[in-house]
Amino acid sequence: MLLQYFPKNFFFFRRDHSCFDKLSLLSGAHNVLFPKIAELLRRQGGEEILIFAGGIVPPEDIPRLKSSGIAEVFGPGTSTQEIVRFLKQSFRING
């Protein structure tokens, strides 16, 4: 029951109009929830928001997530430097 309400409630927890959102959850419902959140963001005018995810996501699930609007998926052990590189490249930041 909770999973059907999570994507819509996600928007109530956002404090501002961020330029990116990082998604992570432990329920294993990433194939359902992440695409739904990406869709709702687009519907709410958030097409420019970069969405990336992290956590234990099976490699075979990553292409589907990316095709749904998730820009990147970082697995366990991903270094902070790698995530920062990704963000700099995504926003074309030098340095």
* Banded model confidence at residue 9, pLDDT cuts 50, 70, 90: low
Strand partners, 20: 50
Instruction: Point out the least confidently predicted range of 9-18, 28-37, 49-58, 77-86.
Output: 9-18
Which pLDDT score, from 0 to 100, does residue 91 have?
A: 85
Question: What average pLDDT does the chain have?
Answer: 78
With pLDDT > 70 as the criterion, what percentage of the chain qualifies?
69
Enumerate residues 6+ apart whose C-beta is below 8 A from 16: none
Q: Where are the alpha helices (DSSP H) in the chain?
A: 2-10, 30-43, 62-67, 80-90
17 or 71, which is more confident?
71
Q: Are 68 and 39 in contact (CB under 8 A)?
A: yes
